[in-house]
Chain A
Amino acid sequence: MSALKRAWRRLLSLFNGHNLDRDFDEEANSHIDLAIEDYVQHGMPLSEATRLAHLRFGSIAASKDTHRDSRGLPWLEGFSFDLKHALRGLRRDRSFTLSAITMLALAIGLNVTVFTIMDAMLFRGFPLVQRNDRLVYLQERYPSGVCCISYADFEDWRTQAQSFEGLSYVGSASISVNAAGSRSIDTTAFHVSTNVFGLLGVPPLIGRDFTPADEASGAAPVVILNYRFWERQLGKRADIVGSAVHINGVPTTVIGVMPERFDFPTRQDIWMPVVHSSEVQQRGLTRRGFIAVGRLRDGVRPEEARAEIEAINRRLESDHPATNRGLVPTVVRYEQLSSGPDARVIWGSLWVGAWFVLLIACANVANLSLVRTIGRWREFSTRIALGAGQARMMRQVFVESLTLASIAGGIAWWVTTWSLHRWETVTESRFQVLDYAVDSRTLAYLLAISAAAALCSLAPIGRILQLGAGGALKGDARGVTHTLRTRHLSAGLVAGQMALAIVLLSGAGVLMRSFLEIVSAETGVRDPENVLAGSIRLPSDRYGYPSARTQYFDRLAEQLRTIPGIEATSLSSHLPIYGTNALTFEVEGRPGPPDRSEAVQFFTVDSGYFRVIGAPLIAGRDFSADDRASTQRVAIVNDSFAAKYWPGETPIGKRLRSINRNEPGDWRTVVGVAPDIMQGDAIRQTFKPLVYVPFRQQPLQVAFFLARVSVPMDSVAQEVRTRIEAIDGVVSLESLQTLKDSAAFDRDYMDPEHSELGKHATVAPVFAVIALLLSAIGLSAVVAHSVSQRTKEIGVRMAIGAASRDVRRMVFREGMVPVAVGAIAGLAAALAVNRVLQSQLVGVSPYDPLTMTSAPAILFAVALLACQIPTRRATRIDPVLALRQD
């Protein structure tokens, strides 16, 4: 008899299990009948014979189990039996099942979401790119903060540096595209080294990649399109490759379209080969340079590459001191580029936060299943008494946990995809390209933590062991079960949950306060909700000349002023709060050459600007319509500038000039002093020295109009839109909103350290609230269970005269002691954890006293509420009924 045949029979019996069980029952009954008959024949009375026959046969249940185990594949068969049993049991305890699944699904979903976001932020890099981990990103920066890269320097890196397999340059330029023939679109194009897509390892979806010949001077202009642009602007025309689009009026051949989801290095529409114009070739930073990407040779670490680039730059500094002095290169990995220098710490800590929530949920489920097992004490002890083995019981608990965790995991998967999608839409940014795709790694992670979560509902196994040792059905099941140990275990779990909740609450608290500190900072603008602003973009082909632009803006002002409710209008290059690149500058009469490390921002504003934003000049005069291109160059400085560069003197009549890329501008005479207005400090904490120059002396192509409005905003905004369309249909109007709205948090304008603060300040409170709710549920369940266990005791107390106040106090004490212990431990932990967040915080200490006191206060309030329901039940216990129980 081969082992194979035997296995086959066993497998067959698995599918025939039900019949075989019945067969066995029949056989056992016939056995007992035969035995009784036998004993009776030997002269035993029938009752005695029956008793003896059963005694001699032993437990039918036990022999059925061994019978089943010997004939089939015991493990598998037991499993399917246990699964059926588990499902039946879970369906019966509906409230337990629902709450356990909800808690686990939420916590697992949250955890996987955070994991995926963290993975995207730190490790995945740009979508579709091969071996992201070997890429580094290079830029240069003057001490004043001006950046980003000089093509001439890049060429030196490329020829001299040994650390890289390849280096590609990316510059950016505003262009006007006319693709469909109707209307030009102003957008930004990347001017790239032609090897860039090869270096990234992403070939075009259709068409061909750039070749070095495309970069040579005199080559026919070509362009590769972003998929999004092809889809939205060109309706995915199949014949796009080979057709021509007009870029700044020049016919340019489309040679390819990149694959869907591919963006590099930010979300823009068009890639073109870098043009080796004299402007691009010159030393020093230009406005065009954006970034370079390098692929490291095998075995080269990013630090080594940085050291090499730094060495090259030091040589350049001594060779070209005029342009390269103080120019410092940066070599960073993807995560520092996209999420700032502390990305690892920050996302790591959020991930830990998500684990805290998961631990709380697990502790709850452990507690609930413990409570449930105790409720099923009689079922378990009866089954053990009837001969079912301890192993069998444990297996059942195990299968139940597994079932719970699988259902929760399935729902969590759905939660994850949903919340990731929400997250992606809410946090979409032009300057950040992240790959949030849900992939096999995400799935593997979800499976792993679901399995880990299944462990938490195994808590009752310990109790079953105890039951086996203690013997079944001995004494009052109630007395056996509610031991001191169980109670300590439950209280410990509650305290742990409370501690975790405090840590999350206080972390969320300081993050939120930092966020509020930024969005509610003093900006110098009066009633920003009454100032309407919008960005006007004049297409370069129609408005190439300054005179045409001035003409347009004059007509615009004329039209806007006739709208009822608009009191005053003006123009500016930037809105308050936001900043521009600082320029180096020279103050007349200061000894020595201009200091390169000093730079200020120059803003272009039209007359009436300070009136519209409600910040009247401190001294001197405003710009006027007479400050034209042909008249004397003038400027207005702000209070901080005057105080810093002409302390104790009157600034009016003094002269200064900007130095843009080594080209000094015209001398400008200061005609006025403006109050400080928040501008160019991402975290809105300090007023910087600023210079304003008149709009009419350099009319811009892209500018904001501002209008102070005295009637409801909606009607005015609609009218403004209509008028602008009427003046010239090709002019685009964007982001029409009040200054109050535009001052909302915008990650794209934050410095790297704080750009993610908005996300953290949104995510952390969600964690904290979920954690708080889960802990409250846990506490409530534990206290409720304890009350139901002690019904008799409470009845006795009330019978001998305890008032309901005393009972309430007793129950509250039982609930609140672990809360207090947990709160203290949590506060201590929070002090340590918050230090990690330090770099993110703005205007608030990580040990912020307000947060550190309100977190426990909120916790206690919620805990008291959670104890309320079971306490009320305790005080309503009727002593007579309670004593009669059992």
Chain B
Amino acid sequence: MTDTKLDLLQGTLDIMVLQTLDVLGPQHGYGIARRIEQLSGNEILLNQGTIYASLVRLQQRGWIAAKWGVSESNRKAKFYSITKAGKSRIKKDRTQWERVAAVMARVLSLGTQP
């Protein structure tokens, strides 16, 4: 099963988390993990515990903030939201990523063109 799933590149998880929070607003850890899995069309199957290392990293950089709150189902959960610094960061990351992706696509298509 795992062979067919995507391995995450180093640093990509941080970008996904930021993007998720930017688009969907405050979320708890489980919500972020589930959303990433859904968005990837279940191509990515996270070891969900690893998301918390990413969250703490982003927090320390000041790109996201955390607060204990209550979920829709009345459960206590920690909610994460993107900060101003985080928003400008994800903008930069997005353009950066698109450029890298475009270059990669060009390079990888080299041999396949007639």
Contact = CB atoms under 8 A, between A and B. Distances in A.
Contact of B53 (A9, A27, A33, A67): A67
A9 B30 CA distance: 25
B81 to A, nearest CB: 15
A655 B80 CA distance: 118
A30 interface: yes
A6 interface: yes
B24 interface: no
A70 B53 contact: yes
A56 B48 contact: yes
**Residues of A in contact with B, size category:** 20 to 34
A31 B50 CA distance: 12
Interface in B59-75: 60-63, 71, 73, 75
B48 A66 contact: no
Contacts of B48: 31, 35, 56-58
Given A1-B62, A31-B28, A59-B49, A71 B78 contact: no
A24 interface: yes
Nearest to B46: A56
A63 to B, nearest CB: 3
Contacts of A63: 47, 49-50, 52-53
Interface in A1-23: 1, 5-6, 9-10
Contacts of A38: 30, 34
A10 B59 CA distance: 11
B13 to A, nearest CB: 12
A37 B53 contact: no
B101 interface: no
B50 A30 contact: no
B60 A28 contact: no
A38 B71 CA distance: 12
Nearest to B52: A67
Nearest to A61: B49
Contacts of A6: 60-61
A308 B27 CA distance: 92
A37 B48 CA distance: 16
A30 B49 contact: no
Interface in A60-92: 60, 62-63, 66-67, 69-71
A193 to B, nearest CB: 74
Given A6-B60, A37-B75, A67-B56, A31 B47 contact: no
Contacts of B78: 27, 30
A744 interface: no
A311 interface: no
B76 A30 contact: yes
Contact of B73 (A24, A37, A71): A37
A73 B61 CA distance: 15
A28 B52 contact: yes
Nearest to A56: B48
Residue of A1, A10, A27, A58 contacting most chain B CB atoms (<10 Å): A27
A70 B56 contact: yes
B89 to A, nearest CB: 9
Nearest to B50: A63
A34 interface: yes
A24 B34 CA distance: 19
B103 interface: no
Residue of A10, A30, A59, A60 contacting most chain B CB atoms (<10 Å): A30
B5 interface: no
B32 to A, nearest CB: 10
B100 interface: no
Given A9-B60, A70-B56, A71-B60, A28 B77 contact: no
B57 interface: yes
A30 B52 contact: no
Contacts of B60: 6, 9-10, 70-71
15 contacts: A5-B62, A26-B76, A27-B29, A27-B52, A27-B78, A30-B75, A31-B33, A34-B28, A34-B77, A38-B34, A57-B49, A58-B47, A58-B50, A63-B47, A63-B50
Interface of A: 1, 5-6, 9-10, 24, 26-28, 30-31, 33-35, 37-38, 56-60, 62-63, 66-67, 69-71
Given A26-B76, A34-B30, A70-B53, 17 more contacts: A6-B61, A9-B60, A24-B52, A27-B77, A28-B49, A30-B75, A30-B78, A31-B77, A33-B75, A34-B31, A34-B73, A56-B46, A57-B49, A58-B47, A63-B49, A63-B52, A70-B60
